[in-house]
Amino acid sequence: MKKRWIVAVAVALGLAGVLGQQVSLPKPEGPRVEVVASTINAKVKVPGCTRDANGQVVCAVTFESQAQTNQSVVVLHSSVRAVAPDGFSYPGYLVVEGGTTDGTKTTFSLPAGGRANGRLVFPGVPQEVGVFPLMQLGGLEFRGLPVAGAAPAQAEPSGQAKQSTASAASAPLSRPSGNTWEAWEGRISLGPWHALYVAKDGTVWAWGRNQDGELGIGKKSEVELKPVRVQGLTDVVAVVAGHGHSLALRKDGTVWAWGQNDRGQVGPTANPLVPTQVRGLTDVVKIAAATQTSYALKRDGSVWAWGWGRWGMLGTGDFEDRLIPTQVKLPARVQAISVIAETVAAALDVDGAVYTWGNPWANQLGTDQT
């Protein structure tokens, strides 16, 4: 079957009838999703996702301001989408109590220290398809709780069999398992201006802004509205979209980078327009990226960083930029790495201890030191 691609676009039809509906969400179960959106200095929480009476995927969302001033927040519909494991992307939109929603965006007021309640709505997701919601806020890739798909519809039964089918249809959808998260882990990444996706065949596809060559198509352009294939990459298992650069991890443990390279975040090659192998890195199992900094976790538990050294983002004990990956000074073997709000890096060691470094403008380090 020919692969279909849908780029998240503005939802102009069907909004009037949907926006006036009251959505009743079940009592949340399982883990909450909670992150800090640095661009609006607020906590964003998703207490639960479900399907409403009309079969739409709906997620409750709250914004809790940590700012000292009132704000007007704008979220484009194009930054809201639900993604299936095969890469099919379904458009959605955000609705906030007291806000306004038109065909392209939602605007709402977030008072200083206050709270705004809303919901993400995805009207076009088929019942049998499992998805997870995505929302982009500045440099933050925000993932909601996965929503499992229902079993495919069968032929119309009759008699007692029809009654049994009706009872099953009224039962709640099964809750997603841990494998639901793993199905998408590393395969899709949203940067502030562009998106990357790893297809099942190991190729990489990209869309969005391309002014710095971050799409890896061999040229610069204003924007690519439809997914385009990144040149020269196969057997890819994970991707990361930075601010203006991109990273990819292949099955063989090598790391490839392309795009903006003003601070060495790609490596010694000046602004490559196609993927270039990062020197000195092998046996890598995970990658991460900040605004102008890149990270790699190797199988031996060591963490390596290159790019912008400001604020100590490289974890090397100084503020110097690095063109070549340099080992981060950590006292123990690491099992996971992450970037927080583009300015703080974090590592989880094998004993469960967390290490942070970088610019703690909102106390993300969890200490009283920088």
Per-residue pLDDT of the chain (370 residues; tens, 9 = 90+): 333 222 222 222 222 222 222 223 333 333 345 566 667 888 888 777 788 888 888 888 889 998 889 999 888 888 887 777 666 778 889 999 999 999 888 999 999 999 999 988 888 888 888 777 777 665 445 555 556 665 444 444 344 433 332 332 333 333 334 444 445 567 888 787 888 988 888 899 998 889 999 999 999 998 888 889 999 999 999 999 998 999 999 999 999 999 999 889 999 888 899 999 999 899 999 999 988 899 999 999 999 999 988 878 888 888 888 989 999 988 889 998 988 766 788 888 888 888 888 876 544 444 555 4
CB 88 within 8 A of CB 132: no
Report yes or no on 106 lying in a domain. yes
Distance CA 255, CA 251 (A): 10
pLDDT at 35: 61
Report pLDDT digits (tens) over 26-48: 333 333 455 666 678 888 887 77
Residues 6+ apart with CB under 8 A from 155: none
Q: Are residues 270 and 346 in the same domain?
A: yes
Here the CATH number for the domain that contains residue 40 is: 2.60.40.10
pLDDT at 146: 58
pLDDT at 350: 87
Report yes or no on 195 lying in a domain. yes
Q: Are residues 196 and 323 in the same domain?
A: yes
Q: Are residues 236 and 339 in the same domain?
A: yes
Distance CA 121, CA 123 (A): 6
Number of H helices, E strands in the chain: 3, 27
Report yes or no on 231 lying in a domain. yes
CB 214 within 8 A of CB 241: yes
Distance CA 242, CA 289 (A): 5
Q: How many residues does the chain have?
A: 370
pLDDT at 174: 34
Report yes or no on 177 lying in a domain. no
Q: Are residues 221 and 104 in the same domain?
A: no
Q: Are residues 342 and 208 in the same domain?
A: yes
Q: Are residues 97 and 210 in the same domain?
A: no
Report yes or no on 160 lying in a domain. no
pLDDT at 304: 95
Q: Are residues 44 and 95 in the same domain?
A: yes
Q: Are residues 337 and 194 in the same domain?
A: yes
Give 217's DSSP letter: S
CB 107 within 8 A of CB 100: yes
Q: Are residues 294 and 231 in the same domain?
A: yes
Report yes or no on 298 lying in a domain. yes
Q: Are residues 212 and 70 in the same domain?
A: no
Report yes or no on 239 lying in a domain. yes
Report yes or no on 254 lying in a domain. yes
* Domain assignment of residue 119, given as a range: 1-10+30-148
Here the CATH number for the domain that contains residue 262 is: 2.130.10.30
Q: Which of 148, 175, 194 is the last residue of a domain?
A: 148
Q: Which of 148, 166, 201 is the last residue of a domain?
A: 148
CB 255 within 8 A of CB 296: yes
Q: Are residues 199 and 64 in the same domain?
A: no
Distance CA 365, CA 214 (A): 29
Q: Are residues 227 and 110 in the same domain?
A: no
Single-letter residue type at 293: T
Number of domains in the chain: 2
Beta strands in 66-124 (DSSP E): 71-76, 80-83, 89-91, 93-96, 100-101, 105-110, 115-122
Q: Which of 98, 129, 148 is the last residue of a domain?
A: 148
